[in-house]
């Protein structure tokens, strides 16, 4: 792998890690981000500080819904492939702002694909989400399961973008891989996500809001495993024949919220103060990835256990935030 790659959402948690990895592999990276105000700009700026020191990295600040900006960006960068990570994230906030989520996650994705079509870029890696499975009763979740019952606007917007990607594959022979991420965590994790919130509260001696009785479970997936999967998807779409695939990227080892809290307590050495709250609308009971397809097509094999991942997160947090 060595080419010209455009990463949308490059200053985010996943995007910044991916940029660092692809740069280390000798690729020319064009990063796009609009520094959405969902969390502080300075955190995102710090995520790409090292990448900006690399002469093979060019950063562009702009909005994926701005077709004029995208036309200029594609004309200048001439990417071979687009890795589309930019989105409004979060299940609960999407319930408060469904129009905003669909505007960015659906209309923005169409704008990216239109720019690709116009400029002859035929390879797309599209970030989707395990949230599309809703409260699927069958576990583990497989890509062939029905995903017609999303329980949040965020989930519905991500499934909608998958459908649009198929349309562009069908009409314009675009090669597409949708990657359904399962609860990604690790260094640089967004401050609104559970693991970072729990560590922050633990070290500050603050109470931790816990929604439900602790029996909900998530397929926590370490950032390095996710980046490995994305890089393999880049190789996969680089063949000559157009492809359209959807793959789960998870750890295939769900952890209950109660067990997660126990592990964080062990890793941090802090006693957690729990503030029990009712379950929130839009939250699913569990997530559990069947990664068979990703293993077959991409050679994907998650390697980082939840304990190792939490220990590595803790090391980063102590170094950068205490």
CA angle (206 as vertex; 201, 207 as ends), nearest 5? 95
**Residue 2 has what pLDDT?**
63
**Which of 27-31, 95-99, 211-215 is least confident?**
211-215
- Is the pLDDT score of 131 beyond 90? yes
- In DSSP terms, 184 is beta-bridged to 221
Q: Which two tokens stand for residue 71?
A: 């036309």
User: In this predicted model, which residue has the larger pLDDT, 143 or 92?
Assistant: 143
**Residue 127 has what pLDDT?**
98
Q: Which two tokens stand for residue 189?
A: 């994790």
- Inter-residue contact 86 to 30 (CB < 8 Å): no
User: Could you give the CA distance from residue 303 to residue 149 in angstroms, rounded to a whole number?
Assistant: 31
**Residue 164 has what pLDDT?**
98
User: Could you give the CA distance from residue 276 to residue 258 in angstroms, rounded to a whole number?
Assistant: 12
Range of the domain at 52: 4-183+221-252+288-303
CA neighbor of 105 nearest in space, from 124, 88, 84: 88
The pLDDT mean for the chain works out to 95
Residue 37 belongs to some domain of the structure: yes
Region 101-119 average pLDDT:
98
Residue 226 belongs to some domain of the structure: yes
Q: Which two tokens stand for residue 237?
A: 């779409």
| 64 CB-contact burial (10 Å; exposed 0-12 / middle 13-18 / buried 19+) | buried
Residue 24 belongs to some domain of the structure: yes
Residue 248 belongs to some domain of the structure: yes
Residue 172 belongs to some domain of the structure: yes
**Total of domains in the chain:** 1
**Residue 315 has what pLDDT?**
97
What does the CA dihedral 123, 129, 134, 138 come to, rounded to 10 degrees?
80
- Is the pLDDT score of 80 beyond 80? yes
**Residue 239 has what pLDDT?**
80
Residue 191 belongs to some domain of the structure: no
Q: With bands split at pLDDT 50, 70 and 90, how would you rate the model's confidence at 159? A: very high
CATH code: domain of residue 172: 3.40.50.720
**Residue 209 has what pLDDT?**
87
Can you tell me whether residue 314 is helix, strand or coil? helix
For the stretch 269-284, pLDDT in tens is 998 989 998 888 877 8
Residues 6+ apart with CB under 8 A from 24: none
Residues 6+ apart with CB under 8 A from 141: 130, 133, 248, 287, 288, 289, 290
**Residue 1 has what pLDDT?**
59
Residue 114 belongs to some domain of the structure: yes
**Residue 322 has what pLDDT?**
62
Residue 31 belongs to some domain of the structure: yes
Q: Which of the residues are catalytic?
A: 154
């Amino acid at each position: 792998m060595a080419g010209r790659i455009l990463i949308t959402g490059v200053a985010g948690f996943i995007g910044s890690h991916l940029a660092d990895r692809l740069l280390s592999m000798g690729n020319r990276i064009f990063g796009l981000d609009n520094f959405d105000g969902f969390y502080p700009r300075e955190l995102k700026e710090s995520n790409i500080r090292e990448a900006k020191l690399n002469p093979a990295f060019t950063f562009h600040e702009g909005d994926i819904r701005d077709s004029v900006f995208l036309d200029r960006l594609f004309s200048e960068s001439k990417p071979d492939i687009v890795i589309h990570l930019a989105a409004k994230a979060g299940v609960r906030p999407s319930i408060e702002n469904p129009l905003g989520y669909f505007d960015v996650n659906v209309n923005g994705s169409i704008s990216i694909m239109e720019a690709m079509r116009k400029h002859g870029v035929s390879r797309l890696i599209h970030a989707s989400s395990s949230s599309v499975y809703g409260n699927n009763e069958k576990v583990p979740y497989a890509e062939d399961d029905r995903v017609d019952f999303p329980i949040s606007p965020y989930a519905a917007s991500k499934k909608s973008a998958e459908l649009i990607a198929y349309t562009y594959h069908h009409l314009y022979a675009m090669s597409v891989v949708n990657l359904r991420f399962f609860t990604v965590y690790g260094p640089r994790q967004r401050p609104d996500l559970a693991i970072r919130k729990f560590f922050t509260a633990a070290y500050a001696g603050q109470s931790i809001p816990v929604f439900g009785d602790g029996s909900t479970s998530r397929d926590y997936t370490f950032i390095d495993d996710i980046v490995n999967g994305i890089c393999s998807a880049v190789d996969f779409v680089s063949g000559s024949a157009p492809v359209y695939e959807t793959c789960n990227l998870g750890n295939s080892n769900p952890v209950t919220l109660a067990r997660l809290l126990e592990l964080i307590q062990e890793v941090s050495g802090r006693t957690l103060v729990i503030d029990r709250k009712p379950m929130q609308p839009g939250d699913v009971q569990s997530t559990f990835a069947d990664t068979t397809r990703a293993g077959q097509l991409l050679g994907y094999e998650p390697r980082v256990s939840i304990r190792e991942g939490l220990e590595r997160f803790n090391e980063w947090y102590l170094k950068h935030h205490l």
